[in-house]
């Protein structure tokens, strides 16, 4: 069995130095006597030399390099968080394994280790952020109130416009109804005035015109069909009355014919000033002569039954402008204010 090689001897043995006191400059009496300092492990702080690694706790190395990088990252993160105005600061906590490096007491303090670095350099920014947030909130609230005010104003304007439109429509409808009522009243008034004027005119004409007989019965009207008339229909208006009943001139005019007329019997033709001819037929006697001027109501003859008749009556015909064809005497008489 081989043995280990013996260790080499030291080339020299350091000389022992005599202990001496440590100080700066000369001794001063006011400083008191110098004493020897004997440091112990408890009185010395941990060695923090470069690249020196102390014992580990919970798996974390107590290296000043590692701790320096961590501290710089934490401070940088806090700074970046504070630079973002309006955002809450980032909360940074240190592991328990490194917190003892910043002081003798390694026991955690409430909120100190978790918030200390996050507040670095951001106190003013946080205040500014709070003010900015309050300003933004106030601005949003003001905009909301303004929008609500605009909405209320728009709704009020819409309601007002609808009310005004309804009022205008009602006024237009009322105006239209009033106009229609006024037009109807005017039309009625015009009709009444026209009717009154016509009545007045007929009243005046009635003074100028008169029926040919006073007491009579209408036994034949214009247009009645029959074989007893040569034209095939009745061409006049028959006033049945006793023989000898007086026949009067309907209106003033000139006698243009007076005598026998075949089927008409004894006939008198009275021509008015406007050229209208009135034929008085079937007379029993004639009291006027041709060329004689008569006035309204003058007696021109008497009722008889001469010519083509079935009984005593006056046959009256109207011929406008002396034309051969007769017209209905009834409306012509009514137009003169007479009602046969």
Identify whether residues 242 and 167 lie together within a single domain: no
Task: Provide the token pair at 119.
Answer: 């507040």
Q: Are 245 and 285 within 8 A, CB to CB?
A: no
Count of other CB atoms within 10 angstroms of residue 249:
25
**Average pLDDT of span 226-252:** 90
Residue 24: inside a domain, yes or no? no
Identify whether residues 226 and 278 lie together within a single domain: yes
H or E segment to which residue 307 belongs = none
Identify whether residues 279 and 247 lie together within a single domain: yes
Residue 155: inside a domain, yes or no? yes
Residue 14: inside a domain, yes or no? no
Residue 126: inside a domain, yes or no? no
Distance in angstroms (rounded) separating the CA atoms of residues 100 and 103: 6
| pLDDT tens digits, 19-75 | 555 555 565 666 666 666 667 767 666 666 555 545 555 544 445 554 555 555 555
Residue 6: inside a domain, yes or no? no
Identify whether residues 331 and 228 lie together within a single domain: yes
Domain of residue 181 covers: 148-208
Identify whether residues 169 and 85 lie together within a single domain: no
Query: 312-340 b/e with 16+ CB inside 10 Å = b?
Result: bbbbbbbbeeeeeebbebbebbeebbbeb
Helices (H) and strands (E) in the chain, counts: 4, 9
Identify whether residues 268 and 231 lie together within a single domain: yes
Residue 110 φ then ψ, to 5°: -60, 120
| pLDDT tens digits, 164-219 | 898 999 999 999 999 999 999 999 999 999 989 888 887 887 788 999 999 999 99
Average pLDDT, the chain: 78
For the chain, the domain total comes to: 3
Residue 77: inside a domain, yes or no? yes
| pLDDT tens digits, 289-333 | 999 999 999 999 999 999 999 999 999 999 999 999 999 999 999
| pLDDT tens digits, 129-153 | 668 888 888 889 898 888 888 888 8
Identify whether residues 198 and 233 lie together within a single domain: no
Identify whether residues 221 and 331 lie together within a single domain: yes
Distance in angstroms (rounded) separating the CA atoms of residues 250 and 200: 19
Identify whether residues 237 and 315 lie together within a single domain: yes
Residue 89: is its pLDDT beyond 90? no
Residue 298: inside a domain, yes or no? yes
pTM of the model: 0.47
Identify whether residues 79 and 181 lie together within a single domain: no
Identify whether residues 262 and 197 lie together within a single domain: no
End-to-end CA separation in angstroms for the chain: 182
pLDDT for the residue numbered 83: 47
pLDDT for the residue numbered 231: 78
End position of a domain, from candidates 121, 139, 163: 121
Residue 128: inside a domain, yes or no? no
């Amino acid at each position: 069995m081989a043995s280990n090689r013996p260790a080499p001897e030291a080339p020299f043995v350091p000389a022992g130095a005599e202990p001496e006191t440590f100080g700066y400059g000369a001794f001063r009496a006011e400083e008191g006597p110098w004493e020897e300092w004997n440091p112990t492990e408890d009185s010395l702080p941990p060695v923090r030399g470069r690249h020196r690694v102390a014992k580990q706790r919970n798996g974390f190395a107590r290296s000043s390099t590692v701790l320096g990088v961590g501290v710089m990252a934490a401070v940088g993160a806090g700074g970046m968080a504070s630079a973002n105005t309006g955002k809450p600061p980032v909360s940074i906590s240190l592991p328990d394994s490194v917190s003892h490096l910043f002081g003798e007491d390694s026991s955690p303090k409430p909120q100190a280790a978790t918030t200390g670095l996050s507040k670095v350099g951001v106190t003013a920014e946080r205040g500014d952020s709070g003010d900015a947030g309050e300003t933004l909130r106030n601005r949003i609230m003001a905009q909301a109130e303004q929008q609500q005010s605009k909405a209320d104003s728009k709704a009020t304007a819409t309601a007002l416009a609808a009310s005004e439109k309804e009022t205008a429509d009602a006024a237009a409808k009322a105006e239209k109804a009033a106009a229609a009522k006024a037009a109807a009243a005017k039309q009625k008034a015009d009709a009444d005035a026209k009717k009154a004027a016509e009545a007045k005119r007929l009243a005046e004409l009635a003074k100028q015109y008169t029926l040919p007989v006073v007491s009579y019965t209408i036994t034949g009207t214009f247009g009645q069909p029959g074989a007893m008339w040569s034209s095939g229909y009745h061409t006049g208006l028959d006033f049945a009355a006793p023989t000898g009943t007086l026949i009067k001139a309907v209106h003033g005019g000139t006698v243009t014919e007076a005598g026998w007329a075949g089927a008409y019997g004894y006939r008198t033709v009275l021509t008015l000033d406007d050229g209208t001819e009135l034929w008085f037929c079937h007379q029993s006697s004639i009291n006027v002569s041709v060329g004689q001027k008569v006035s309204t109501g003058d007696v021109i003859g008497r009722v008889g039954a001469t010519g083509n008749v079935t009984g005593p009556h006056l046959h009256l015909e109207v011929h406008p402008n002396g034309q051969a064809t007769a017209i209905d005497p009834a409306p012509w008489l009514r137009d003169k204010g007479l009602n046969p």
